[in-house]
Structure 1
């Protein structure tokens, strides 16, 4: 919660003004019963209508000031809560954007979504409530007790005697409620994940007639959330009835003792009337405090989850790496510095046995690297290591002679233009999906569309046509060509195509390769493919199996020396023929 209050500091000036207004408005409310007691005990016995009207006017003015003051203070409180929460959401989104792939996988995407939405909403509620009721309720409580002490100490002590019981009850309920709300939020994370998976895979679910199966899975997680929320709600709901019971018992004692004191001449009717009004104010103040504790319980659990993201250590930091003298032993003899070097690279996602190991190759600027192999061979992992979504476990990756760990991450990734295997198309225009915030001209966008062989369907729809989320209104081949156009539009130094032409027919694929070869001759190209035809003319081809490079060379060399590559090529050529 301390980290959350850091976001309130910039708004302290406005918040203090609102708090002062709130205090003055509350004092006006506290003045009303005391004025009423004075009218009943002092003014009415004088039978002066003028004085009654004058004091009535004072009470009316105090009421209007309290009403107006509460409105102004509440608006200021809402503004502070809104602006502070906006800053929290912005920093949270920024932090999520810069989390490493390993960190994002650790938190899980549904949890990140829940923390950025539900948890920040709970914090917003708490910030607003603390300014509105967090000032008014304590002043009502303490002010009411102080004023009643001046009026009749005996009756006040009767009411105050209930306070220790109320304090113990609030503490016990809150102590049990906060951990339970954290469990509710964790269950909500799993709920979001289930909904996300079901919505994403709706076509598969329908195609395989698994709707009933998914309904049962959804019902189970939905029931878990409901049950946990009910348990937390039941614990927190004990507060109101128990508090009402204690306070009403105190009120009964006040009435009985007050009646006896009036009968004995120790107190006056006006005092009792005012005292009962103050008891009502004190009762409402304590109920407001109990409500605040409930909201605080939720918000503290949410704040801990948000702070966990905000305080997450920066991963993949920039490092000054020492040259260790190792190399792959296949450096060019012409003296040119290779653009990309994988030097005995090994990597493990889990930290256990390597998923890829001992990867060695060098690539000159403008050359084409083809990577082929079976599913799970580690092809896409090489791309993610190259763009530093993960750090290597062993070895090093050099870009232009520098270890990529010594590059600024943003500068490093600006050198790449990538179309990934399962990339995202956003719910926006075709032009913006290609430009992607890079302020490209329409001529540059149209050129990229032409090179990506996407002219036909883009001309039919128009560059300003809005696409459905995830490109649901596009075919597989149209999506891939749009993603390739996005990668080409930035004219990158290194072009990465990660199995991004698998949905294209052979003729379109061939035209695409010809266009890239003709217009990006100075660009280093890395193509992950399932088709031999996509990497046929590559300067270097890596054949991967089980996380290892089992062979590398040009197409003709691999046909002679690698049985697996020969089998892949032969089977695909037969299908092609």
Structure 2
């Protein structure tokens, strides 16, 4: 919260000072009205001067108009300062969120970051606005009211002063207890947002499995937790208003009794008693405003701490100078254009390694296929390559440089990437491919052609327009993947990472896509991560992972001879027996046909078309089917 006040409000100190001055004058005008009323009742009316009555009546009207005008101006200035300061806070918070590492994002959790950007910034906005409005006016009315009552009648004012310390004690005690409760409420709200986000995203799965009642019960549990936290916080803070009302009303009763006694004794006047009761009402309203402000401040302090936690989060992936070359990488390899993994070890939880002692190299323009079971570390390899996370041991070289020596923007501009479960945004097809980069229309159209997406995107433009729904809900799985691939290809990257990006493509489209990659991206170093053997068998190198360890590395032919796991994958996906001569490209069967984007028709891999018929292996069952 200190950072918000000292940094984000600093540029507005001048405007806030002017607003405070205007608010001060308006509040003083409010305080003058009861004083003038008392003077008119006790001095002007008994004198019987109609001219004096009109004069002082005009003074009261002038004070009223001035108070209204100044308060409106000050409130408008306060609203502008609050909205502009919050806009900057929200901008910086969003920018910092965008630059958090994957580890930091997982630590905060995405629902919590969403809550900080929305609910927490709203609470801070309310606090900044209220402090400028009530934070100035209420104390002025409170202190000014006490001063004016002391000037009118010190004896009656002393009755009021007896109540003030008790009120201050109650406000302090309740606020001290309420602040932690609001922190718990925010944490519960994070869990609530998390559950709602997951259920809305997975609503089709929930319906398909008829788990609506199960999810409703989960929702009710989290909802009840939020309600309980909210009730505890609100019930605690709800003590303030009744307690203050009771104390101030008791004080008012004391003032009336004491005032009546003093008027009867001739030591006070009726006008002063009326003015005193007006001031007491002003003081009561000021105290009520302060109590409401304490509630807002409690929320804002809890929210401000959560915002500051993100803003103060230091970059855990700083750019470093290149370290010493490891013994396993010679000078020739280190100087090569391409990718080198040098004894790389990484763990997400820092206890159990997700990748272990991984070493290999891929030259510029070559393709590396990465295959392995789910959880074997394929996606982690891509994250390390793009420095979304940092290695624990070893290093990764890009064109002879350690990835940690690049500025993040410089490094990631070298890549075109399609992640698993990547995102389609609610925007046009062209903007989903462009993604804010300096790409012209021709670049985007070519990328759509290369990605085999030009045909259906052209139809969309002609029929229903080129706008896409959130997460590409109006696209099929294969259409989404082709747009995502076009996005990765559009800037002609030096390095292309395709993480299971063709799983929803039919074999013919897959074959055509890889043919386009070979023809138009010869100088692009490609990392092809896949579950399907047909997607990687044509690669220059194939890396086989199991439980984070490299158990095979080489060409398709080499792995067919040396890697049992690779042979097992072949058998499980195609039913082919490498020993009997029916493996890919060998024997008479040619289970996946001919062309898979590698050489002319007749070479291994790919789609075969003979006399209008084609056959492909079914990865799920090892069967063949006619296209």
Residues 517-569 of structure 1: CA deviation (Å, up to 9, x unaligned)? 10000111110011121112211110111100101001111111111112212
Separation of aligned partners in 2, 1:156 and 1:408: 68
Separation of aligned partners in 2, 1:325 and 1:525: 24
Match of 2:512 in 1: 511
Match of 1:434 in 2: 433
Does residue 563 (structure 1) correspond to residue 587 (structure 2)? The answer is no
**Of 13-22 and 323-332, the range deviating more from structure 2:** 323-332
Residues 369-397 of structure 1: CA deviation (Å, up to 9, x unaligned)? 11001111101110000000111011010
Residues 95-130 of structure 1: CA deviation (Å, up to 9, x unaligned)? 100000000000000100001100110000010000
Separation of aligned partners in 2, 1:409 and 1:336: 21
Separation of aligned partners in 1, 2:325 and 2:49: 101
3-state SS of 1:424 partner: coil
Conserved in 1, the CA contact under 8 Å of 2:545 and 2:552?
yes
Does residue 255 (structure 1) correspond to residue 249 (structure 2)? The answer is no
**Of 313-322 and 82-91, the range deviating more from structure 2:** 313-322
Residues 19-63 of structure 1: CA deviation (Å, up to 9, x unaligned)? 111000001000000000110111111111111011111110110
Conserved in 2, the CA contact under 8 Å of 1:126 and 1:295?
yes
Separation of aligned partners in 1, 2:26 and 2:109: 47
Separation of aligned partners in 2, 1:375 and 1:308: 35
- Cα distance, 1:327 vs structure 2: 2.2
Match of 1:144 in 2: 145
Alignment of 1:167-206 (within 5 A): 167-206=168-207
Match of 1:60 in 2: 61
Match of 1:2 in 2: 2
3-state SS of 2:502 partner: coil
- Cα distance, 1:443 vs structure 2: 1.3
3-state SS of 2:314 partner: coil
Conserved in 1, the CA contact under 8 Å of 2:335 and 2:399?
no
Conserved in 2, the CA contact under 8 Å of 1:328 and 1:360?
no
Does residue 290 (structure 1) correspond to residue 317 (structure 2)? The answer is no
Does residue 402 (structure 1) correspond to residue 401 (structure 2)? The answer is yes
Separation of aligned partners in 2, 1:219 and 1:429: 38
- Cα distance, 1:336 vs structure 2: 6.3
Separation of aligned partners in 1, 2:330 and 2:550: 15
Separation of aligned partners in 2, 1:493 and 1:324: 23
Separation of aligned partners in 2, 1:567 and 1:89: 53
Match of 1:40 in 2: 41
Does residue 380 (structure 1) correspond to residue 376 (structure 2)? The answer is no
Separation of aligned partners in 1, 2:459 and 2:336: 46
Match of 1:230 in 2: 231
3-state SS of 2:287 partner: helix
Separation of aligned partners in 1, 2:542 and 2:316: 32
Match of 1:154 in 2: 155
Separation of aligned partners in 2, 1:571 and 1:451: 31
Residues 469-500 of structure 1: CA deviation (Å, up to 9, x unaligned)? 00111111000001000000011000110000
Alignment of 1:77-96 (within 5 A): 77-96=78-97
Conserved in 2, the CA contact under 8 Å of 1:347 and 1:357?
yes
Conserved in 2, the CA contact under 8 Å of 1:328 and 1:344?
no
- Cα distance, 1:326 vs structure 2: 2.0
Match of 1:363 in 2: 362
3-state SS of 2:421 partner: coil
3-state SS of 1:162 partner: helix
Residues 53-98 of structure 1: CA deviation (Å, up to 9, x unaligned)? 1111111011001001111000000000000100100000001000
Match of 1:326 in 2: 327
Residues 312-367 of structure 1: CA deviation (Å, up to 9, x unaligned)? 111100111321442257966xx961421100000000010211111000111111
Conserved in 2, the CA contact under 8 Å of 1:330 and 1:362?
no
Does residue 30 (structure 1) correspond to residue 28 (structure 2)? The answer is no
3-state SS of 1:522 partner: coil
Separation of aligned partners in 2, 1:330 and 1:498: 30
3-state SS of 1:502 partner: coil
Separation of aligned partners in 1, 2:500 and 2:329: 26
Relative to its length, the structure with more helix (as a share) is 1
Residues 197-248 of structure 1: CA deviation (Å, up to 9, x unaligned)? 0000000000000011111111110111011100100000000000100000
Separation of aligned partners in 2, 1:44 and 1:85: 52
Conserved in 2, the CA contact under 8 Å of 1:148 and 1:278?
yes
3-state SS of 2:90 partner: helix
Cα 1:184–1:65 change in 2 (3 A) is same
Match of 2:445 in 1: 446
Stretches of structure 1 that go unaligned for 5 or more consecutive residues are: none
Match of 2:117 in 1: 116
Match of 2:218 in 1: 217
Separation of aligned partners in 1, 2:406 and 2:355: 23
- Cα distance, 1:570 vs structure 2: 3.3
Conserved in 2, the CA contact under 8 Å of 1:427 and 1:471?
yes
Match of 1:351 in 2: 350
Count of paired positions: 575
Separation of aligned partners in 1, 2:477 and 2:330: 41
Q: TM-score, normalised by structure 2?
A: 0.90
Separation of aligned partners in 1, 2:42 and 2:368: 97
- Cα distance, 1:193 vs structure 2: 0.2
Residues 437-489 of structure 1: CA deviation (Å, up to 9, x unaligned)? 01322211110000000122101112961111001111110000010000000
Separation of aligned partners in 1, 2:161 and 2:553: 85
Separation of aligned partners in 2, 1:152 and 1:135: 26
3-state SS of 2:8 partner: coil
Stretches of structure 2 that go unaligned for 5 or more consecutive residues are: 576-616, 619-623
3-state SS of 1:161 partner: helix
Conserved in 1, the CA contact under 8 Å of 2:530 and 2:536?
yes
Alignment root-mean-square deviation, CA: 1.3
Conserved in 2, the CA contact under 8 Å of 1:23 and 1:135?
yes
Separation of aligned partners in 2, 1:513 and 1:204: 32
Match of 1:304 in 2: 305
Separation of aligned partners in 1, 2:2 and 2:543: 52
Match of 2:104 in 1: 103
Conserved in 2, the CA contact under 8 Å of 1:330 and 1:361?
no
Conserved in 2, the CA contact under 8 Å of 1:328 and 1:361?
no
